[in-house]
Amino acid sequence: MVTRRLPSLNGLRAFEAAARHGSFVGAADELNVTQAAISRMVRLLEERFGFQLFERRPNGLDLTAQGKALQPGLTSAFDAIAGIAEQVSAMQTTPALTLGVGPTFAVRWLIPRLRGFYETHPEIDIRLSTGGAMNPFRDDWTCGIVLGDGHWPGYEAELLFRTDLFPVCTKAVAERIPHPSKLTRRDMLEVAHSPEDWQLWLAAAGVKPRGKAVGPTFGNHTMALQAAVDGIGVAIGFRPYVEEDLAKGRLVAPFSITVPKPRAWYLLYRAFRKDDPGLAVLRTWLHDSLAGERQAASQPPRKGARKRAASRSA
């Protein structure tokens, strides 16, 4: 076994903090010790190395050549230690978890279903954190639900569901756009991180949009779908996000053409979290709930429901 011969860790922390702040005063404030204590720890570290790490000046500190060589590696090492400590702290023994999700997925899919989760698992505490297409996966999350291609090196990815793309808009907007060829860029509400959605659907519809190169653009699907509800134009929808709007008549699907969305929703987590008790419960609930929804969607409508639908359309 190799025995590490390390300088004083307190001395290294004092030096690294003083190097970042450019003063012993700033380091003392960060480490909650006195300026004299920082000065003493740095001096002992310099005696251990046999050379100075700082040039002491009346208005601050300047790193020597040796200090400049030492400081970047120490900063990286302390950042890595802090990250590891945060990961371990997040591994609770109680059934709680932090779930990273995008704002649209949270509002339009997850939150409406959370009541069912808490009714069956009141002992689990789920803490939602903001994720999404433009935000990286954070290692203090227990897990995340992410839209992607299923390939995230260093992570376990479990497929949840796929969906199809199709345009949605208000009935009034649909009446003035009777055919896909009548769509202009001004009509098409785009999502900044999903420009391929409209491209895929237009290609399937065999039309080339008229008008300017870029339509109204929004930061996420929640904004684009709300704009569609408000009659601003036509958004690309997919079933999990627009089910309620379609059912209540706020939106309609004006065209019958649908195309598969290349990316799908995945449950993502680090392998070392697989046995986390909260994650185990969430994984089971997600897969069971989705299986139940798929089974329900595949069932033909009941006879009474078919009659009611026919009477409404008459």
Rounded Cα gap, residues 116 and 120, in angstroms: 7
- The single-letter code of the amino acid at 290 is L
DSSP category for residue 252:
B
What pLDDT, on a 0 to 100 scale, did the predictor assign at position 160?
Answer: 95
* pLDDT above 90 (res 51): yes
CATH code of the domain occupying 164-260? 3.40.190.10
- The single-letter code of the amino acid at 68 is K
Highest mean pLDDT out of 135-139, 232-236, 291-295: 232-236
What pLDDT, on a 0 to 100 scale, did the predictor assign at position 138?
Answer: 80
Rounded Cα gap, residues 12 and 34, in angstroms: 16
Give the gyration radius of the chain's Cα atoms: 28
Query: How does residue 61 score in pLDDT terms, banded at 50, 70 and 90?
Result: very high
User: What average pLDDT does this structure show over 167-180?
Assistant: 95
What pLDDT, on a 0 to 100 scale, did the predictor assign at position 1?
Answer: 58
What pLDDT, on a 0 to 100 scale, did the predictor assign at position 94?
Answer: 52
DSSP category for residue 53:
S
* pLDDT above 70 (res 11): yes
Query: How does residue 226 score in pLDDT terms, banded at 50, 70 and 90?
Result: very high
* pLDDT above 70 (res 95): no
Q: Compute the mean pLDDT over every residue in the chain, rounded to the nearest whole number.
A: 86
What pLDDT, on a 0 to 100 scale, did the predictor assign at position 313?
Answer: 34
- The single-letter code of the amino acid at 53 is L
* pLDDT tens for each residue of 190-223: 998 888 899 999 999 998 866 555 578 998 899 9
What pLDDT, on a 0 to 100 scale, did the predictor assign at position 129?
Answer: 87
What pLDDT, on a 0 to 100 scale, did the predictor assign at position 300?
Answer: 63
User: What average pLDDT does this structure show over 100-122?
Assistant: 90
What pLDDT, on a 0 to 100 scale, did the predictor assign at position 66?
Answer: 94
94 compared with 202, residue with greater pLDDT: 202
What pLDDT, on a 0 to 100 scale, did the predictor assign at position 2?
Answer: 64
Query: How does residue 96 score in pLDDT terms, banded at 50, 70 and 90?
Result: confident
Arch. (CATH architecture) of 9-90:
Orthogonal Bundle (1.10)
**What are the Cα distances from residue 289, in Å, to 109, 160, 273, 283, 296?**
12, 10, 22, 10, 11
User: What average pLDDT does this structure show over 6-22?
Assistant: 92
H helices within 54-149, ranges in order? 65-90, 103-105, 111-120
What pLDDT, on a 0 to 100 scale, did the predictor assign at position 59?
Answer: 84
Residues of the chain with CATH 1.10.10.10: 9-90
What pLDDT, on a 0 to 100 scale, did the predictor assign at position 305?
Answer: 44
What pLDDT, on a 0 to 100 scale, did the predictor assign at position 21?
Answer: 93
Residue 193 phi, psi dihedral angles, 5° rounding: -90, 5
* 280 Cα distance to chain centroid: 20
Rounded Cα gap, residues 107 and 126, in angstroms: 15
Least confident among 100-114, 127-141, 163-177: 127-141
> Per CATH, is 96-162+264-297 categorized as 1.10.3720.10?
no
Query: How does residue 91 score in pLDDT terms, banded at 50, 70 and 90?
Result: low
SS3 label, residue 299? coil
SS3 label, residue 54? strand
What pLDDT, on a 0 to 100 scale, did the predictor assign at position 125?
Answer: 87
What pLDDT, on a 0 to 100 scale, did the predictor assign at position 134?
Answer: 54
> What percent of the chain stands above pLDDT 70?
88
Q: Provide the CB-side half-sphere exposure for 309 (13 A, CA).
A: 7
Residues of the chain with CATH 3.40.190.10: 96-162+264-297, 164-260
Tokens of 197: 């959605």
What is the largest distance, in Å, between two alpha-carbon atoms of the chain? 93
- The single-letter code of the amino acid at 287 is H
User: What average pLDDT does this structure show over 53-71?
Assistant: 92
